[in-house]
Chains A and B, each alone.
Chain A
Amino acid sequence: DTAVSQTPKYLVTQMGNDKSIKCEQNLGHDTMYWYKQDSKKFLKIMFSYNNKELIINETVPNRFSPKSPDKAHLNLHINSLELGDSAVYFCASSFREKLFFGSGTQLSVL
């Protein structure tokens, strides 16, 4: 039974399109995250939600909008996709400082 699951696994789209990535965790954690991993494997935090409330919002363009309908779900919507948005996006949840990651969504913007 997958602890943190995100869909889709792969996303290929054209510049200017809008896309969403969904994430769900069944670990009972209060805090969820979106991380971005670039081609050099650098993992950078984008957003963090605690019990549906936004607590971390790093310097991410306004085109990225997270939404947390409940504490087990955190979705990421991206408007007007750009070439530079191509990366692997990871959802995670945490118990204290320990992060549990999903398997990632590889986004390719053409």
Chain B
Amino acid sequence: QKEVEQDPGPLSVPEGAIVSLNCTYSNSAFQYFMWYRQYSRKGPELLMYTYSSGNKEDGRFTAQVDKSSKYISLFIRDSQPSDSATYLCAMSGRGYQKVTFGTGTKLQVIP
């Protein structure tokens, strides 16, 4: 079993839809939770970052962490075609130098 599980998709939604992306994990030592967005033929870029449990909102994006269930989510409101990319969840423990990634979910937003 992988430390971090993520549905690879692909996920196809119409423009304006609310998108929900999720990851589960098994390592209870994880404390830092991130979402990276990767466009085709580009490197991943940090989208959202949360520490421990709770919610964090940034514009159309909301990250949620539920440490009791070992479950994290990224919500995208009013999705746009420019949101079409692969979304990778990532997490690390206190030392935070070793970041473990999920396999990524490919999202396509159709105009």
Provided the pairs A45-B98, A45-B99, A56-B98 are in contact, do residues A97 and B32 lie with their beta carbons within 8 angstroms?
yes
C-alpha spacing A97/B104, complex, angstroms: 19
- B contact residues vs A (CB 8 Å cutoff): 8, 32, 34, 36, 38, 41-46, 49, 86, 88, 90, 92, 96-101, 103-104, 106
Provided the pairs A41-B104, A42-B103, A43-B88 are in contact, do residues A99 and B44 lie with their beta carbons within 8 angstroms?
yes
Please give, as numbers and ranges, the residues of chain B lying within 8 Å of A100 by CB-CB distance: 46
Q: Are A43 and B44 in contact (CB under 8 A)?
A: yes
Query: Does A103 interact with chain B (Cβ within 8 Å)?
Result: yes
Please give, as numbers and ranges, the residues of chain A lying within 8 Å of B96 by CB-CB distance: 96-97
Please give, as numbers and ranges, the residues of chain B lying within 8 Å of A43 by CB-CB distance: 44, 88, 101, 104
Q: Are A97 and B49 in contact (CB under 8 A)?
A: yes
Please give, as numbers and ranges, the residues of chain B lying within 8 Å of A41 by CB-CB distance: 8, 38, 86, 88, 103-104, 106
The size bracket of the interface on A is 20 to 34
Q: Are B45 and A42 in contact (CB under 8 A)?
A: no
C-alpha spacing A44/B4, complex, angstroms: 12
Q: Are A98 and B34 in contact (CB under 8 A)?
A: yes
Please give, as numbers and ranges, the residues of chain B lying within 8 Å of A99 by CB-CB distance: 34, 36, 44, 46, 90, 99
Q: Are A104 and B42 in contact (CB under 8 A)?
A: yes
> Distance (Å) between the CB of B41 and the closest chain A CB?
7
Name which of A31, A40, A99, A100 has the most chain B CB atoms within 10 A of its CB.
A99
